[in-house]
Amino acid sequence: MEDLTRTRTSADPGRVPGRLAGRRIVVTGAASGIGRTTARLFTQEGARVALFDRDAGGLQRTLEATAGVTFQVDITDEDAVQAAVDEAAAAMGGIDGVVNAAGIMTKGLAADVRAADWRRVLEVNLTGTYIVSRCCVPYLLEAESATIVNIASAQGLLPNAPGHTAYAASKGGVVNLTRALAAELAPKVRVNSICPGMVDTPMADGYRANVGNYALKRVADPSEIAEAILFLTSSQASYVTGAALAVDGGRSYH
Ligand SMILES: NC(=O)c1ccc[n+]([C@@H]2O[C@H](COP(=O)([O-])OP(=O)(O)OC[C@H]3O[C@@H](n4cnc5c(N)ncnc54)[C@H](O)[C@@H]3O)[C@@H](O)[C@H]2O)c1
């Protein structure tokens, strides 16, 4: 059983160190925002991380604060993902967990968004999440207490923002993909999704959140999403699978 009485660090008196000690985790979208923040937090918690992203420069900057290996890969390219997953597993000695944080957003009313743009959003956010997960499954099935955490969106729960049809559809798909995988991979692998509201990352640049829609009247810092991802990845969530955890300041009910 985990010893929660260990000495806490003076740097952050609230933190119990080493919640992911020895875990080997693939993090996609690791070159920016939520993925980068998660990779750094996971490193602080004792994990080894394999950083996946298509942005080589961003990966390099993330690497400076993580004990990681980087893979410049587009998550929609199944052969490239398979090769990167195999290499990551060889480098880390296996894979215990996946965080699917790579994603894109497009804005536009349904009448204006052509099918090609719709397909790209579905391809990255939903199919890409599926591809990375399926390539990791054989490794996860060999691991102890394996996990997948998919970053969906509050719009996957309550798609009430005009101009986000494709994005909301893709994220609703991620919520249900998560549930389907949770059923299929139980009891070996726990699979959960996080549904953030607006988060202060490059993806949100140029958008002005109406914080009146949020009970907490503010957008999230990426660290607040990373902490929820940590919870679902750690043994503290050992009885949680198939969940869609809203980390949205109350947006989805407010
Ligand atoms: N920022 C928000 O307000 C918000 C809200 C809800 C959900 N999310 C979700 O959280 C996740 C992370 O978003 P973020 O805010 O950190 O955004 P971000 O733009 O800062 O980071 C996304 C990362 O994904 C990478 N990426 C995109 N397409 C890729 C592809 N095909 N292959 C490999 N890498 C790819 C990008 O290069 C980037 O590094 C996304 O799934 C996003 O939809 C974000």
Question: pLDDT value at position 213?
Answer: 87
Could you identify the residue written with the tokens 């893709």?
A: 170
Does residue 29's CB lie within 6 angstroms of at least one atom of ligand 1?
Answer: yes
Does residue 204's CB lie within 6 angstroms of at least one atom of ligand 1?
Answer: yes
Task: Give the rounded percent of residues in the chain with a pLDDT score beyond 70.
Answer: 93
Q: Which residues contact residue 102 at a Cβ distance below 8 angstroms, ignoring those fewer than 6 apart?
A: 28, 29, 35, 52, 53, 54, 75, 124, 128, 129, 132
Residue 175 · residue 126 · CB < 8 Å: no
pLDDT band at 9 (very low <50, low <70, confident <90, very high): very low
pLDDT band at 11 (very low <50, low <70, confident <90, very high): very low
- Per-residue pLDDT tens over the stretch 195-230: 999 999 999 887 777 888 899 999 999 999 999 999
Between 218 and 11, name the one with better pLDDT: 218
Domain 24-247 indexed as CATH 3.40.50.720 = yes
Q: What separation in Å is there between the alpha carbon of 184 and the centre of ligand 1? A: 26
Question: pLDDT value at position 12?
Answer: 54
Question: pLDDT value at position 152?
Answer: 98
Q: Would you call 167 a catalytic residue per the annotation? A: yes
